[in-house]
Amino acid sequence: QGAANPCSTSINWFAVSSAYLTPGPGGFFAEQANANRVLARERQEQVQCQLAVAQERAIEAAQASQESATESPSGAVQPESDTGANVGVNMRCVGIYSRAWDNCVGTVHYINGNVYDGEFHHGLRSGYGVLVINAIGRSYASNIMARVPSIYIGEFGDNRMNGDGIIFEEQSHFAIEGTFVDNLPSAPHDEVNCDSNASPATWDECFGVVRYPNGNVYFGQLKNGERSGLGFIKILARGVTTAQNIATTTPGFYVGQFRGGLMNGRGVMLTQASGVFGRFVDNRFAGR
pLDDT given for residue 226 in this prediction: 96
Main-chain dihedrals φ then ψ at residue 57, nearest 5 degrees = -65, -40
Main-chain dihedrals φ then ψ at residue 181, nearest 5 degrees = -130, 120
Total residues found in the chain within this entry: 288
- Going residue by residue through the chain, which has 288 residues, state the pLDDT in tens, using 9 for 90 and above: 333 444 444 555 555 555 555 544 555 556 666 666 656 665 554 544 354 334 434 433 443 343 433 454 544 333 333 333 445 689 999 999 999 999 999 999 999 999 999 999 999 999 999 999 999 999 998 899 999 999 999 999 999 999 999 999 999 999 999 999 999 998 767 678 999 999 999 999 999 999 999 999 999 999 999 999 999 999 999 998 888 899 999 999 999 999 999 999 999 999 987 999 999 999 999 998
Query: Partners of 124 in the beta sheet?
Result: 121
CB atoms closer than 10 angstroms to residue 232: 25
pLDDT given for residue 217 in this prediction: 97
pLDDT given for residue 92 in this prediction: 94
Nearest-angstrom CA–CA distance, 203 and 50: 48
Please compute, for residue 208, the number of CA atoms within 13 A of its CA located in the half-sphere on the CB side: 23
pLDDT given for residue 220 in this prediction: 97
pLDDT given for residue 187 in this prediction: 78
Q: Which secondary structure element, helix H or strand E, spans residue 41, and what is its range?
A: helix 27-53
Pairing mode of beta strands 275-281, 262-271: antiparallel
**What letter represents residue 64's amino acid?**
A
What are the residues whose beta carbons fall under 8 Å from the beta carbon of 266, sequence distance 6 or more? 128, 256, 257, 277, 278, 279, 280
CB atoms closer than 10 angstroms to residue 32: 22
Q: Rg for the chain (alpha carbons), in Å?
A: 18
pLDDT given for residue 117 in this prediction: 97
- What pTM, to 2 d.p., does this model score? 0.72
Q: Is 23 exposed, middle or buried (0-12, 13-18, 19+ CB in 10 A)?
A: exposed
Q: Which secondary structure element, helix H or strand E, spans residue 155, and what is its range?
A: strand 150-157
Please compute, for residue 76, the number of CA atoms within 13 A of its CA located in the half-sphere on the CB side: 27
Is-contact 228 204, C-beta < 8 A? Answer: no
Nearest-angstrom CA–CA distance, 130 and 151: 7
**What letter represents residue 143's amino acid?**
N
Query: Under the phi-then-psi rule, with left for phi > 0, alpha for psi from -120 to 50, and beta for the rest, what region is 49?
Result: alpha
